[in-house]
Chain A
């Protein structure tokens, strides 16, 4: 190409660059703090953290009791904590109760244990329909909850984040925490899926 220049990004991207530049110039934010946050989200937070929490709860009854009573502290004890000091509540799936998470207002999500939410979690159809008709939404995820099982939908907010403790797959007696963690899927901790079979 004869023109030697760099194509600018989209106008909205330029505005975001402008905002960070100005905030650093004004001393509102320190240089690098935004990148540091992004780096943590891209490299340190994700469902593998949640899977460790779940696997520990399956193998350690005292930890499970603590997790269900004080999710924030029990999760933090494994090194996973929130940016805004989110208050974490863990809800347990049983043969009689299936839990599923939503944020009806926006996209509040248990970042420390699951990282960034999937796209569908942020969309209007999921946010509205899972509240009104959770069973049919779960069917769309190929999750067939028996009619005799109660479905509980939990609405996350700015200060309370939920996580589902899924049921331990059958046939995993004697498995190590590491082996069990491999069976825990992201969707099983949101409640739109179950764990992999052993």
Chain B
């Protein structure tokens, strides 16, 4: 699996082209694949229009992130692109002193808790001061085996059948 960079020509993924063709509708442009891609894109543009940074500043920072934090093995090109976009956005916000990493982390945690207290199917509203949830954490299905500190045990066991010595 070790490709020799000197002889390997990186390919332009035809699957990407196909995906674009499927997306082409209406005005024929691709749409945002994820809501947060759109939100990150729109936020950067809105900040530039609001004068927080120039678009040249944006391109400078974004292209540096693309260079220094390239697409990872197994990462889709579009996912890499918006990861880099989000990093550039945070970089510029922190550099301008408008938001710190801690500000963003705290509000992100508030958003996470806001999701967790919202019944499924209801709109999620941003709330602060929610308690840290201990009963669920978002990414797992919970079958609460092993409560009370006991080690989990199998529900049944079939012992090995020993051949009788003849």
B-binding residues in A (CB < 8 A): 1, 3-23, 26, 28-29, 33-38, 41-49, 83-84, 105-108, 114-120, 122-126, 128-129, 137, 140-141, 157-159, 186
Point out the residues of chain A lying under 8 angstroms from B103, CB to CB: 18, 22
Instruction: Tell me if B16 and A105 are in contact (CB < 8 A).
Output: no
Report B145 CB to chain A, min CB distance, Å: 15
CB-CB nearest 3 A-B residue pairs:
A46-B27, A115-B29, A18-B107
| Known contacts A28-B47, A37-B46, A124-B71; is-contact A16 B126 (Cβ 8 Å) | no
| Extra contacts besides A119-B13, A119-B77 (16): CB < 8 Å | A8-B111, A16-B43, A16-B89, A18-B108, A21-B126, A44-B27, A48-B26, A83-B45, A83-B48, A106-B66, A120-B13, A120-B16, A123-B16, A126-B12, A129-B10, A158-B58
Alpha-carbon gap, A67 to B142, bound state (A): 62
Report B77 CB to chain A, min CB distance, Å: 5
A-binding residues in B (CB < 8 A): 9-14, 16-17, 19-20, 24, 26-32, 34-36, 38-43, 45-50, 52, 54-56, 58-60, 62-63, 66, 70-71, 77-78, 81, 83, 86, 89-90, 93, 98-99, 103-112, 115-122, 124, 126, 136, 138, 142
Point out the residues of chain B lying under 8 angstroms from A122, CB to CB: 77-78, 81
Report A83 CB to chain B, min CB distance, Å: 6
Point out the residues of chain B lying under 8 angstroms from A11, CB to CB: 108
Mostly helix, strand, loop or mixed at chain A's interface?
Answer: helix
| Known contacts A6-B115, A7-B138; is-contact A16 B40 (Cβ 8 Å) | yes
Point out the residues of chain A lying under 8 angstroms from B47, CB to CB: 23, 28-29
User: Closest chain A residue to B60 by CB distance?
Assistant: A158
Alpha-carbon gap, A149 to B73, bound state (A): 38
